[in-house]
Amino acid sequence: MAIFCAVLVLRPWLPGWLVALGYLYGIVVILNLAFHLACYLKNRFFWRVRNRLLGSFVFIGLIPLLVILGVVFLSAYLLLGQLAVTYMSAALSRIEGEVSGINVELLPGAILVIFTDGVTEAVNGADEEFGEERLLLALRECCMRSPEGIYSYVVERVRQWQGELKQHDDITLIVGKVE
């Protein structure tokens, strides 16, 4: 080790091949010391009887337990994922059945109105909602108008219902009329 330290200190004044040889010698010495330290630690700590039992427990008892727990966790994860897929598949099939039953042929003059809850849940000063019945009444009153006219009339009726109150939800209304 002293030779390696001397090479480190005298490196600026030594030839390159001697510095390389000193580094190589230092690496061999350090590896040898590390090997002997590992052997000492092995003999001192691991190979005693109680440490052999501890090592046996770790390799024979603990590692298989961790493997089994990993398999159980993976199985539960896959099972729950499969249950979620089954549930979603059933729910989508039910929704598909409901939506496919909605197909209706609209005759000329028919009006299609799509609206959000902001239209029917608009409240007045008495905290009463506009409601679906008032919406249907407003639609009956203006059914002969164009889609733009129907939209304007219904929105104006909702705003009249609200009066001076602040609008608390969006009022979205889509009106279509079959020609």
Cβ-in-10-Å burial (0-12, 13-18, 19+) of 4 comes to middle
Per-residue pLDDT band for 49 (boundaries 50, 70, 90) equals low
User: Does this model's pTM top 0.85?
Assistant: no
Per the prediction, the chain carries an average pLDDT of 84
How confident is the model over 92-115, as a mean pLDDT? 83
> 168, 160, 172: which is closest to 113 by C-alpha?
172
Q: Are 108 and 179 within 8 A, CB to CB? A: yes
Please report, for the chain, how many H helices and E strands are present, in that order: 7, 2
If one compares 139 and 8, the residue with the highest pLDDT of the two is: 139
The pLDDT value given to residue 50: 63
What angle do the packed helices 131-141 and 147-162 form, to 10 degrees? 140
Q: Using CA atoms, how far apart are residues 152 and 121, in angstroms rounded to an integer?
A: 18
How does pLDDT run across 108-157, given as a tens digit for each residue? 889 999 999 989 999 988 889 999 999 999 999 998 999 999 999 999 99
If one compares 94 and 103, the residue with the highest pLDDT of the two is: 94
